[in-house]
Amino acid sequence: MKSRLFATLAAGTLLTCGLSGCSFLGIGSGGPVTLKLVAADYGTTPDTSSQKYWNHLAKQFEAANPKIKVDVQVFSWSDIDGKVAEMVKNGNPPDLVQTGGFADKVAAGQLYTASDVLSIDTQTNFLDSFNRAGNVLGTQYGIPFAASSRTFFYNKAIFRQAGITQPPATWDDLKNDAALIKAKVPGVTPYALPLGPEEAQAETSMWTMSGGSGITDAAGVYSLDSQQNVDTFNWLKQNLVDTHLTYPNPGSVDRQNAFTDFANGKVAMLDGHPTLLQQAHQGNIDFGTAPIPVKNAQVKPVSLGVADWMMAYSANGHRNEIRTFLSFAFNKDNMTKFDQEYSLLPVTQDTLAGMTSNNQNAELKPFLDALPSASFYPYGDPAWDTVSGRIKTEIGKAVQGDPKTVLSDLQNFAVAEAKSKRPQ
């Protein structure tokens, strides 16, 4: 689904919002304050770069708030963390950073809490599940900015060729459907299992949750080597990999490659996020979506929620100005415009309600419905970035060798990292 830009807000509306924010916060009559905003690029070409969105937003904000300037820098996802670290090291820290994680910055004592820089109206407008995911030791630091969730995609044309009438609800259904597809539709990978380094932590999360466990337990403690997870990867190895119902070496397959194969009619089933809707349409694929299959009827339906975050750095002391800008940036119209431009899902209640009621977003309904109850990565753990990185490089071995050994090694690494990076 190619994004549809909403009409730009009328200048009068922006002016009212901005001035009310300034008045409420009591910003004085001194010289202009410049906020330094660093953001990740969601675009794929110069024409779709997020730089254009943020430049436009900054211009509108500055018109309504002449005593606050916003200097915007947008970097690729591969560069942004290094660029921000360099700024901090050189004594030139940003005020706001929009990227993928926050807990390590909390451990380093670099951030304002969310309540420091959000008005009550702004903070209570976020979906509760995202506010909780932004917590570190019970205090919210991560400010949700954009979201994605996952659901099951299947190729209807391939299903018809294989004589399959409905999507699988359980793992046994999936295995049986995959076997039919292998037998009746040659040249097609029945189920994509992308455990390559691009996003293996997502596929791992979905399979462990659908097996009744997860990367962490209910208390947020790493549980990578739980018996349920060992059973899950044994099942994958024995029923999908060893029987040649997925790629020969899932650990070498990235998520985007699996998406491309699905959009080219070469994959019959996989778990995907909203971007795949657009790719599948571009490939003229007759596809459907359904809940992610679970181990059995005793396991509740699952959905993985993935969030990107805004974080507010405290070093420059611009708390009030940051609050004014965030009140503006997170209003419904601005958030809707960004989400629809980049095929993302909303993190605020009013944006979710607006997108859900819009018939143009009918295909997004399974993703939108999943957001309020979605499960998330352990974002609040300062060790998550390094643990996630290790999962990306190692988890593919769990369906090639001994799952218990691989998961035990990952668990030991995760526990040690969490202990070493725990705030003192």
Q: How many residues does the chain have?
A: 424
Pick out the chain residues at pLDDT < 70. 1-30, 423-424
Tokens 């024409």 appear where? 47
* The pair of three-digit structure tokens given for residue 229, joined into one six-digit string: 């997870």
Same fold, 11-147+306-375 and 151-302+383-420: yes
pLDDT of residue 424: 57
The three-class DSSP label of residue 424 is coil
Question: ∠ at Cα 330 (338, 350), nearest 5°?
Answer: 85
Q: What CATH class does 151-302+383-420 carry?
A: alpha beta
Determine contact, residues 247/117, Cβ cutoff 8 Å. no
Question: What span, in angstroms and rounded, lies between the C-alpha atoms of 152 and 158?
Answer: 15
pLDDT of residue 342: 87
* The pair of three-digit structure tokens given for residue 171, joined into one six-digit string: 């793992």
Determine contact, residues 223/213, Cβ cutoff 8 Å. yes
Question: What is the H or E stretch that residue 154 is in?
Answer: strand 151-155
Closest to 145 in 3D by CA, of 174, 118, 170: 118
DSSP 81: H
Per-residue pLDDT tens for 126-150?
Answer: 999 899 999 998 999 999 999 989 9
CATH architecture of 11-147+306-375: 3-Layer(aba) Sandwich (3.40)
| Residue 398 vs residues 173, 210, 211, 417: alpha-carbon distances, Å | 22, 17, 15, 21
Distance of CA 247 to the CA centre of its chain: 25
Domain ranges of the chain: 11-147+306-375, 151-302+383-420
pLDDT of residue 360: 84
pLDDT of residue 69: 97
pLDDT of residue 30: 62
